[in-house]
Amino acid sequence: MRVPPEPTTPLEDKSPKRKPPSKSAAGLPAIISTTKHGLMKMGLMGSLTNFYNVNKFQGFDCPGCAWPDPEGSRTIAEFCENGAKAIADEGTKKRASPEFWSKWTVRDLSLKSDKWLNSQGRLTHPLILRKDSEYYEPISWDDAFEVIANEMAPLRPDQAVFYTSGRTSNEAAFMWQLLARRYGTNNLPDCSNMCHESSGVALKETIGIGKGTVRLDDFDKSDLIIVVGQNPGTNHPRMLTALRDAKKNGASIVSINPLIEAGMIRFKHPQNPLEVLGYGTEISDEHVRVRLNGDQALFRGFAKVVLEASLEDSGFISGFTKGYEDYEKLARNTSWDLITMLSGVERNEIERIGNLIAKSKATICCWAMGITQHKNSVPTIQEISNLLLLGGHIGREGAGLCPVRGHSNVQGDRTVGINHNPSSEFMDSLRREFGIQKLQTRGLDSVDAVRSMLQREARVFLSMGGNFVSAMSDTNATSEAISKCSLTVQISTKPNRSHLITGKIGIILPCLGRTERDQSGGSEQFITVENSMGVVHKSVGTRPPASNNLRSEVSIVSGIALAIEDKIGFSDIKWRELSADYDTIRDSIERVVPGFDSYNERCRENGGFYLPNPPRDSRIFPTKTGLANFISNDLVSISPNDGEFLMMTIRSHDQYNTTVYTDNDRYRGIYSGRRVVLMNKSDMEANSWEEFDEVSITSEFEQKVVTSDRWRVVEYDIPRGNVATYFPEANVLIPLNSVADKSNTPTSKSVIVNITST
Ligand SMILES: Nc1nc2c(c(=O)[nH]1)N[C@H]1C(S)=C(S)[C@@H](COP(=O)(O)OP(=O)(O)OC[C@H]3O[C@@H](n4cnc5c(=O)[nH]c(N)nc54)[C@H](O)[C@@H]3O)O[C@H]1N2
Ligand SMILES: Nc1nc2c(c(=O)[nH]1)N[C@H]1C(S)=C(S)[C@@H](COP(=O)(O)OP(=O)(O)OC[C@H]3O[C@@H](n4cnc5c(=O)[nH]c(N)nc54)[C@H](O)[C@@H]3O)O[C@H]1N2
Ligand SMILES: [Mo]
């Protein structure tokens, strides 16, 4: 019998170190860090070629984040410090070869940290962990496909789960969903379910599409940019350039965040010597210290002020919206006491910012995980949408809603069909294109997939990228769920914990990364991606593959599909042809998904093309009412009892989701340790805790109690009663059933916890 592996990174026993948090982002430290990561992992030549090709018209799309590239001329170095880390991490010279896997049992590997696992380098060969075996061993591609087909052929289609992480290209994602639907299921959970699902659900109801309504050039034309629940200095560093330029054009910038993040204070553009050595540009004019989960109330407060300022309707409200009267009444009747209590922000501050909003002719509101990962995320985003509708800020130059996406192609994946709940039109088109049966039932999202595996309903979990075990909430429940599967398959580039917590059989299929040349079918292939603002463009790998045994994601999907087809006699999808020429995949996408006309031509143009966006382009709102909807929601907020804390789980400056590069968080001044609890000084005093004291954190939900030990208290400028920890370490504390209403997203930013001395 296999000894069960550990689902989490081992606990640290060292104490972290502290420096004062940074007062500016990027600058010289970013240049030093970029160089260090590049040289250490890829060497000099690797760094030069890789960094030269990123985000070039003829190069590859940065795998870091979904922030768009400038449309006009591009600089020699069109990337940021953290994009460079992501590229260096993929471009590493180290290899996790079969010899490596033969030396370690999975149990022993599971006792190593996530950082250590990732630092073993690129996967090189298909690997199998056979039933009851302790070791992974190499397997041929064909045999691996055969094992998968043998396990899957006898199942009911809804017993398989096809997870997708958002780095997957449009082409691979389209093939992946096609495989799932051909197999007969909509079980297509994806990282979106833990990320911007709340934005999609909320905006579909208000404006009719689940995407934002701004383009990059709107930032130059805006007079007010609100950045709420987002830490762009770390997670979307190139956004700081847009904010800096907007600022120079006279825009005001308001940051709304319980933490004062370095990037929102000041920015020194790393490619501008004067800025690097000088003072840089101040970013935020106002910083609103909202209490964790207080944004819905705060935005209601802003709406109240805007309504009091007797705004004149330019015809937008009467001509393009519905539900105004109800919302107006609701906002006017919401008491200031409730708003200030829930938001933790004083009335005069809300009024000051509210007046800025009332006066603005063009407001953009950007948000990310600080808004989407709460129980009331959907109503909070609808409150943001209501506020912008009040001022007619949708479908206007320099204005709009801007959910800033995470993974570099998470938006594209959804566009081409990675969706557990696809529209009827999409399924109709897929049937027309491929002759496959139209599936009526909704599939499993991430949380429901875990529930289903726990019940032994779903039996096989296949993963296109990502690290589900570490990324999902409730690590114990998730790993128990995965362990109950008969088979788990991971299509990956680097080792991670999802390779160790497996079904009875575990398979790893190593794939090409985005920076690498793809010669599938014998000729040079490229892929396409969609950025956060709906621009679809091509991405061409330029580096030699990390190993000759790697296959592209597209050809791996095709291999799995053909093997299953062989067993259960599928119909006539031309998997081989599709995977041998990605143009044919794009032709199919063009026929199935609206907006991709002349896809193959237009994606070859420099910079690509914009997908249609009716609210942005022509104030057409494809909602049920045919108008943009004001939505009147009750104000709700999570209220911990006395002595309890509300905890958010966030990213450090040196991680990419579950991939931890180092144990440092430079901007927040925390070094050599990740098991830290950022806490207000008064809360520390009230509990007689000193800096670095060891504590345990407990969460309790629906009578299930989980305790996590060996955390260190760190004094930080954070509202009283709120604390912050890093994920994935803190994911054990997020209960599986604690999810956002309507979007089912784990509440990673509002977990009620008790903290006790150990
Ligand atoms: N380098 C790097 N880049 C990345 C990633 C990465 O891990 N590393 N991840 C990518 C992905 S997938 C994503 S989704 C994005 C994530 O990008 P972000 O959303 O910026 O990431 P988080 O670290 O989760 O930060 C959330 C921010 O919201 C604030 N916040 C938390 N709760 C609240 C709240 O209740 N109200 C308000 N107003 N603010 C709150 C936190 O203080 C923090 O500043 O980044 C993408 N880019
Ligand atoms: N507590 C808490 N949990 C969270 C969050 C949070 O804020 N707090 N954020 C959530 C969010 S926003 C997201 S998006 C999810 C992220 O969830 P995922 O997308 O599942 O996780 P990642 O850590 O991005 O996945 C990293 C792995 O992807 C693989 N990989 C990298 N590049 C490629 C590639 O090109 N192809 C393939 N096939 N594989 C590749 C590597 O093997 C790597 O180990 O986590 C969520 N989890
Ligand atoms: Mo994300």
Could you tell me the domains of the chain? 96-190+423-515+551-580 (3.40.50.740), 197-301+341-408 (3.40.228.10), 640-757 (2.40.40.20)
- For residue 192, the CA-to-ligand 3 centroid distance in Å is 6
Find tokens 């073993």 and name the residue: 120
Q: Which residues, other chains included, contact 291 with Cβ-Cβ below 8 Å and sequence gap of 6+?
A: 258, 342, 343, 344, 345, 719, 721, 722
Q: Which residues, other chains included, contact 566 with Cβ-Cβ below 8 Å and sequence gap of 6+?
A: 149
Q: Which residues of the chain have pLDDT under 70?
A: 38-39, 44-56, 72-79, 276, 311-313, 570-571
> What is the CB < 6 Å shell around ligand 1?
64-65, 82, 195, 228-231, 234-236, 256-259, 261, 290, 292-293, 295, 368-370, 406-407, 648, 650-651, 655-657, 749
Q: Which residues, other chains included, contact 627 with Cβ-Cβ below 8 Å and sequence gap of 6+?
A: 320, 321, 322, 621
β-strand pairing of 95-96 with 321-322: unpaired
Q: Alpha-carbon torsion 373, 531, 436, 155, what sign?
A: negative
Whole-angstrom distance, CA of residue 103 vs CA of residue 100: 5
| Beta carbons of 555 and 522 less than 8 angstroms apart | no
- For residue 725, the CA-to-ligand 1 centroid distance in Å is 12
Find tokens 């955390």 and name the residue: 711
β-strand pairing of 266-268 with 25-26: parallel
The closest residue, in CA terms, to atom 14 on ligand 2 is 191
- For residue 374, the CA-to-ligand 3 centroid distance in Å is 14
- Percent of the chain past pLDDT 70, that is, above it, reads 96
From residue 240, alpha-carbon distances to 27, 217, 236, 408, 668 in Å are 12, 14, 8, 17, 17
pLDDT at 111: 97
The pair of structure tokens assigned to 353 is 């910012």
> What is the CB < 6 Å shell around ligand 2?
165-167, 191, 194-195, 369, 373, 406-407, 464-468, 471, 491-494, 496, 511, 513-514, 553, 649, 657-659, 727, 730-731, 734, 748
pLDDT in tens, 363-407: 999 999 999 999 999 999 999 999 999 999 999 999 999 999 999
Whole-angstrom distance, CA of residue 569 vs CA of residue 581: 24
Whole-angstrom distance, CA of residue 251 vs CA of residue 228: 16
pLDDT at 266: 82
pLDDT at 33: 75
Whole-angstrom distance, CA of residue 79 vs CA of residue 660: 20
| Beta carbons of 64 and 79 less than 8 angstroms apart | yes
The pair of structure tokens assigned to 499 is 């390779």
The closest residue, in CA terms, to atom 37 on ligand 1 is 229
The closest residue, in CA terms, to atom 27 on ligand 1 is 230
Whole-angstrom distance, CA of residue 735 vs CA of residue 751: 8
pLDDT at 403: 97
pLDDT at 34: 74
pLDDT at 639: 84
pLDDT at 41: 76
| Beta carbons of 190 and 449 less than 8 angstroms apart | no
Whole-angstrom distance, CA of residue 160 vs CA of residue 185: 8
Task: Read off the DSSP letter of residue 666.
Answer: G
The pair of structure tokens assigned to 84 is 């460079």
Residue 47: φ, ψ to 5°: -65, -45
pLDDT at 280: 80
